[in-house]
Structure 1
Amino acid sequence: MSDTFSRYQSLVDSGEISFDPAQAVIAKRLAALNAELGDYRLARRKSGALSWLFARGEKREPVRGLYIWGEVGRGKTMLMDLFMAASPVRRKRRAHFHEFMADVHERIHIYRQKLKAGEVKGDDPIAPVAADLAEEAWLLCFDEFSVTDIADAMILGRLFGRLFEEGVVVVATSNVVPDELYRDGLNRALFLPFIKLMQERMAVVKLESRTDFRLEKLSGRPVWLTPLGPEADRSMDEAWSRLTGGARGEPAELPVKGRHVPVPRQSHGIARFTFSELCEKPLGASDYLAIAHTFHTVMIDGIPVLRGLARRNEAKRFITLIDALYDNQVKLVASAGAEPMGIYLNDEGVEAFEFARTASRLIEMRSEEYLALPHARRPHNVGDTGGIVET
């Protein structure tokens, strides 16, 4: 298994990405961490998680994770992809942070229901929840680490304190330095010990990359390709290759409220669907929000012209989908049968009125100003959403 830096260098050598000194520095840090995790894994096998800390009668320092922060579009997600692919750890989990916390709150709720039914003992659910999480994965990797919710802020210190005691190692990417987390949040003073804990258990490094690669790959290029046909198909394939650095992409699933939304192709924070897969299937707002929160760019192939009331349901889903993408500042690349104003041809029903707003949003989403916006990823409540599950 090649290390993170070797994988990064291979992408550079193949021409899939351009060499960036700042990215190379982080890739080397991640490669060193993976090497340390390999030793940690062997120690765990021999003596158990907590015994690792007391090997040969001496207390040893636990493995410090990594907190990588920097501006949007600098390659943090790509580097996390490489790190996860090279990781020797089998019990590992990668999730967007808000989805992870939604899962935590769901587990807490289930514990309290069991407590009420007399099935478990103990008033504090944090310890058993942390133990279960640690049993499932002792390497936790978070994309876009941010804290905006007071319910999250108030339990993070205790939760992560227990996770670290269980021997869990954490790697995270974020757009902000730890000291800026939950800035101006309610009762922030109660949150500050968590920041200190993170800085003790995770090395904080900034990705000082030279440019916003995401914007660079979209700027000045058409993102709404019409009419449908072989030329649009070729342009979509070229856009995928450009955005992902030539990655093939893998299928995945997004857990939403006990169900799984299939993602036919995803890589580097980019997902690709057909219109049929998104709007001709029984998907709803929660599903589209999960997509919008997970991926910074969505590609949609084959948006047809929707004519009359017979395509009303597809139009309603498309409106909901675009609202979710727009509200979370997700970038959209699509091939379509017409310009936005000509996609839904129907004068009856509320959808006809609502689609005018959708068309306006689609036009705005093609602008340089919109493409330069960071991925918002507003917190949502989709139930037991635990992050991407590759299939």
Structure 2
Amino acid sequence: MTEALCDRRPEPSLERLLADLVPPPRFARARLDNYVPDPDFPSQEQAKQRVGEFAAALGAPRAGFLSRLRKKKPAAARGIYLDGGFGVGKTHLLTSLFHAVEGDRVYGTFVEYTDLVGALGFQRAVDLLGESVLVCIDEFELDDPGDTLLMTRLIRELSDRGVAIVATSNTLPDALGEGRFAAQDFLREIQAMAERFEVLRIDGEDYRRRNGVTEIATLPEDEVRSSAETMPGATLDEYDALLTHLTKVHPSRYGAMIDEVSAAHVTGMHGLTHHHDALRFVVLVDRLYDREVPMLISLAGGTDPGTLEDLFSAELLRSGYRKKYFRALSRLASLARDGGALLSSGAADAAS
């Protein structure tokens, strides 16, 4: 019988949470050498060069412990904020930096750090992360005031300890002409330490769209079910049941929930109109994307292949969470394309 994600209720240990603070599988091989800037957008090459310089500077010898004790106030830590639209290579550059720097360093999404603080307590998290040379924060979120204040305080205390912080966030596609939309929000929130951050604006097109991924492709339900039943390690879930299950599992555990899943099959997908369902589904899509788990999906009542339209309602896309929703649409389109390719590959193998 095919397993369902709805059957899984992971209880990851603290050790697991800490072990997960590394770049996800999708970007494990990302290096500056294989980041290929788009020549139509010079800011990509400029960001690549600056990140390389930043990595080299972090490799310079740091002051010894006694030397730091003699200082009345530690030197302001260096930091970079990578600002740009979806799919322009910010995460690639961030993981490249992680791999280019030696010593203790950690990498996680904004949500993973807030979860870690929740599990450890604030001061213990500061003490633990404060031993790092570099803290990488992907997908810095500005839509929840409480979490934003928590993270800016964490960044400030780590920076005061001499820890370099590098963060990324998304500028909405329709805000690219407005100047540093996300950067302005970020710097306003951390104005007490804004002078410590260098903002690098990265322009460009979503590479997933350059690869032809523009729509969320769906399959007939019988094909989705058949694939799930014959594919080792696959899961099969009905969409509404999955949304209900996500309310019972903390988002910090979604990564553990998809351990060893080869492909996620979901039937009966439809549009979402409420934030509580949409935001949980966004986190699941992010974790599936990070771990390169393809998705094969069918529409509610769908007997023919097609595309999923209006996954998020117009109201949701106008809300303060819109950056998350647009990112999820881009990533879900990519995952669905991977799922379709997986199905085609299986059919070709069966025919040969």
TM range (shorter): 0.5 to 0.7
Q: What letter corresponds to residue 152 of structure 1 in structure 2?
A: D
Q: Is the 8 A contact 2:265 2:295 kept in 1?
A: yes
Q: Is the 8 A contact 2:77 2:160 kept in 1?
A: no
What CA distance in whole angstroms lies between the structure 1 residues aligned with 2:266 and 2:166? 42
Deviation (angstroms), 1:222: 6.3
SS in 2 for 1:335: strand
For structure 2, the 5+ residue unaligned runs are: 1-29, 171-180, 269-276, 328-352
Counterpart check, 1:103 vs 2:116: yes
Residue 160 of structure 2 corresponds to which residue in structure 1?
165
Q: What letter corresponds to residue 101 of structure 1 in structure 2?
A: T
Residue 132 of structure 1 corresponds to which residue in structure 2?
128
Deviation (angstroms), 1:67: 0.8
Asked which structure has the greater CA Rg, the reply is 1
Counterpart check, 1:67 vs 2:87: no
What CA distance in whole angstroms lies between the structure 1 residues aligned with 2:42 and 2:238? 39
Give the alignment's Cα RMSD to 1 decimal: 5.1
Residues 1:86 and 1:165: Cα distance change in structure 2 (over 3 Å): same
What CA distance in whole angstroms lies between the structure 2 residues aligned with 1:177 and 1:305? 35
Q: Is the 8 A contact 2:88 2:207 kept in 1?
A: yes
SS in 2 for 1:66: strand
Residue 295 of structure 2 corresponds to which residue in structure 1?
334
Residue 143 of structure 2 corresponds to which residue in structure 1?
148
Alpha-carbon displacement from aligned partner over 1:318-338 (angstroms, at most 9, x marks no partner): xxxx966655695896335x6
Residue 191 of structure 2 corresponds to which residue in structure 1?
195
Q: Is the 8 A contact 1:228 1:302 kept in 2?
A: no
Residue 38 of structure 1 corresponds to which residue in structure 2?
59
Counterpart check, 1:87 vs 2:101: yes
Q: What TM-score do the two structures reach when normalised by structure 1?
A: 0.49
SS in 2 for 1:203: strand
Residue 67 of structure 2 corresponds to which residue in structure 1?
51
Deviation (angstroms), 1:153: 4.5
Deviation (angstroms), 1:95: 1.2
Residues 1:334 and 1:52: Cα distance change in structure 2 (over 3 Å): same
Counterpart check, 1:78 vs 2:92: yes
Residues 1:221 and 1:170: Cα distance change in structure 2 (over 3 Å): same
What CA distance in whole angstroms lies between the structure 1 residues aligned with 2:164 and 2:238? 36
Residues 1:329 and 1:11: Cα distance change in structure 2 (over 3 Å): same
Residue 303 of structure 1 corresponds to which residue in structure 2?
265
Alpha-carbon displacement from aligned partner over 1:108-139 (angstroms, at most 9, x marks no partner): 3xxxxxxxxxxxxxxxx64x54223213x331
Deviation (angstroms), 1:301: 3.5
Q: What TM-score do the two structures reach when normalised by structure 2?
A: 0.54
Residues 1:221 and 1:161: Cα distance change in structure 2 (over 3 Å): closer
Aligned residues: 255
Residue 215 of structure 1 corresponds to which residue in structure 2?
209
SS in 2 for 1:375: helix
Deviation (angstroms), 1:100: 0.8
Deviation (angstroms), 1:166: 1.7
Q: Is the 8 A contact 2:142 2:148 kept in 1?
A: yes
Residues 1:292 and 1:178: Cα distance change in structure 2 (over 3 Å): farther
Residues 1:79 and 1:174: Cα distance change in structure 2 (over 3 Å): same
SS in 1 for 2:85: coil
Residues 1:287 and 1:213: Cα distance change in structure 2 (over 3 Å): farther
What CA distance in whole angstroms lies between the structure 2 residues aligned with 1:291 and 1:219? 28
Deviation (angstroms), 1:22: 2.0
* Larger RCO (CA within 8 A; separation ≥ 6): 2
SS in 2 for 1:174: strand
Alpha-carbon displacement from aligned partner over 1:86-118 (angstroms, at most 9, x marks no partner): 2223x111111132123223333xxxxxxxxxx
Q: Is the 8 A contact 2:139 2:169 kept in 1?
A: yes
